[in-house]
Amino acid sequence: MAAVATGTACAGDAGDMFKRGIISRVNKIAANCGVESGQTVAQAAELLKAAPWPHADVEAPAVARTFIDGVLCIDSISQGNAEDAGLVVASGSHGGRSAAPFARSFKPRLVFFNDAGFGPDRSGAASLPILDAEGIAAATVAADSACIGDGQSTLTQGIISAANETAYRLGARVGDAPLNWRARSRRDLSNKEPSNNPPALHPNEEGNNMPQLKNKIAVVTGGTSGIGLATARRFVEEGAHVFIAGRRQAELDKAVAEIGANVTGVKTDISKLDDLDRLYATVAKKGKIDVIFAGAAFVEKAMTPGATPEHFEKTFNTNARGTYFTVQKALPHLNDGASIILVASAGKNKGMPGRSTYSASKAAIRSFARAWTNELKDRKIRTNVISPGAVETPMFNDQYPSHDAAAEARKQITTMTPLNRLGRPEEIAAAALFLASDESSFVAGIDLAVDGGLTAV
């Protein structure tokens, strides 16, 4: 797209515009084809004829992927992929109906579309109610037409023109800058019916949401994806400085870039004691720990007749032994009154085929919490367990040999779950925030099921 400067007498005359017009502004897509300000329309037309893209037989130029303040900026929603699940995304493309399948395919936490030239009351926002029905937050951003095709400009140069109910609950507001959504991030991430009344605020002295973990230090293991990443993000939004521990440096770097500020990544394999020592030595430079979220885990489906010693050892080394020493090594670094949150699983109570070792390792975690609640009572340290049901995370898909197998498992679990769906990482993070904050100051030793009713019936 390009804007053309002409005399007023040329208005409404495409022929005169073509002959006499000078290009005044171009968007990123036009610039990629060589179109520049100052060219005549005729010159630009010749360049576009010669440009190979977007002809069907030629691959389009690579689209830039940049993080700004933790938001992934891409020039087209079609460039999102499975690795971007749970991210906040700013897209240079509009939010018409055709955008919905692309957003559904990788399930961003929140997506901003560029509605320049479309308008919220026209087709440029048609995908918002479609995505809302699937719990995907989406908003359109009114920006200059030259910003179309430029995700960074969508994020930084426009204002929100429309937002679905899910986006509203995350803090997106019409008339506000896209990056301001975090300041209003909501506690309520449920699938409740849309309401005409805004969610209740919990104001501090400035009238903003009260940060529940202001100036706290938290450690989140398994913090590079899924539940751990959502929890780390939520803790930062609530005022904490978070240390995320993960085994893969590339994933750590990506998680840190996504969250943005007040986060430190430390490469850590919790089954290795030296790694845990290095983790806590790094944290000690910042101060004492107020919250531990022990979320690192390993899951591998194996029926008992064919399970190997290696399978058993890896499962218990990570889930039971790793969690045990994650807490033991942290004890000298914990503030009195700290909160320890252990992640178990609803599966420990269900006897699911192929999950005997995994379920047993998670049952051990429940026992740790009972013992530590008693052992650490003199220091007023609270230990609690969260037991999630099936949650839409990379780990859920990774345990199945194929996409079809994962889809079948998802269907079966949905049928077993009274709320008739899988959980979202943000919903587990909301429970973790409750247990990490003073809201749960008289809660100790519990096993909090966040499973859509799976283990209640």
Q: Classify strands 137-142 and 217-221 as parallel, antiparallel or unpaired.
A: unpaired
The beta strand positions in 352-407, using DSSP E, are 382-388
Question: Minimal CA–CA distance to 90: which of 106, 59, 66?
Answer: 66
Q: What distances in angstroms separate CA 380 from CA 179, 279, 374, 383, one per listed residue?
A: 38, 24, 10, 10
pLDDT of 196: 36
The CATH number corresponding to 217-450 among 3.40.50.720, 3.20.20.140, 3.40.1800.10, 1.20.1260.10 equals 3.40.50.720
Question: Minimal CA–CA distance to 246: which of 238, 261, 263, 310?
Answer: 263
Average pLDDT rounded to a whole number, residues 182-196? 44
On whether the CB atoms of residues 174 and 198 are closer than 8 A, the answer is no
Q: State the chain's mean pLDDT as an integer.
A: 81
What is the band of 293 on the pLDDT scale with cuts at 50, 70, 90? very high
What is the band of 147 on the pLDDT scale with cuts at 50, 70, 90? low
Tokens of 12: 């409404």
pLDDT of 336: 97
The CA angle 60-62-65, to the nearest 5 degrees, is 140
What is the band of 178 on the pLDDT scale with cuts at 50, 70, 90? confident
Distance, in Å, from the CA atom of 446 to the CA atom of 80, rounded to the nearest integer, reads 39
Q: Classify strands 241-246 and 217-221 as parallel, antiparallel or unpaired.
A: parallel
**For residue 76, how many other CB atoms are within 10 A of its CB?**
16
65-82 pLDDT tens trace: 888 878 889 988 888 888
Q: Is 5 exposed, middle or buried (0-12, 13-18, 19+ CB in 10 A)?
A: middle
* Three-state secondary-structure class, residue 143: coil
Distance, in Å, from the CA atom of 233 to the CA atom of 88, rounded to the nearest integer, reads 11
Higher pLDDT, 248 or 151: 248
Distance, in Å, from the CA atom of 424 to the CA atom of 417, rounded to the nearest integer, reads 14
Average pLDDT rounded to a whole number, residues 14-33? 58
Distance, in Å, from the CA atom of 102 to the CA atom of 76, rounded to the nearest integer, reads 10
What is the band of 10 on the pLDDT scale with cuts at 50, 70, 90? very low
302-323 pLDDT tens trace: 999 999 999 999 999 999 999 9
Q: Is the pLDDT of residue 341 over 50?
A: yes
pLDDT of 112: 92
pTM above 0.75, yes or no: no
Compute the radius of gyration of the chain from its Cα atoms: 25
* Three-state secondary-structure class, residue 338: strand
Distance, in Å, from the CA atom of 396 to the CA atom of 379, rounded to the nearest integer, reads 37
Question: Minimal CA–CA distance to 455: which of 339, 366, 372, 357?
Answer: 366
Segments making up each domain of the chain, as ranges? 2-50, 65-184, 217-450
Q: What is the DSSP letter of 318?
A: I
pLDDT of 253: 94
pLDDT of 201: 31
Ranges 39-53, 280-294, 425-439: which has the least confidence = 39-53
Q: What distances in angstroms separate CA 124 from CA 50, 334, 370, one per listed residue?
A: 30, 51, 53
Ranges 37-41, 243-247, 325-329, 340-344: which has the least confidence = 37-41
pLDDT of 188: 38
Ranges 50-64, 112-126, 432-446: which has the least confidence = 50-64
Tokens of 338: 């700290």
The beta strand positions in 247-355, using DSSP E, are 263-267, 289-294, 334-343
By annotation, the residues acting in catalysis are 358
Q: Is 370 exposed, middle or buried (0-12, 13-18, 19+ CB in 10 A)?
A: middle
The residue behind tokens 């992927």 is 65
Average pLDDT rounded to a whole number, residues 247-259? 92
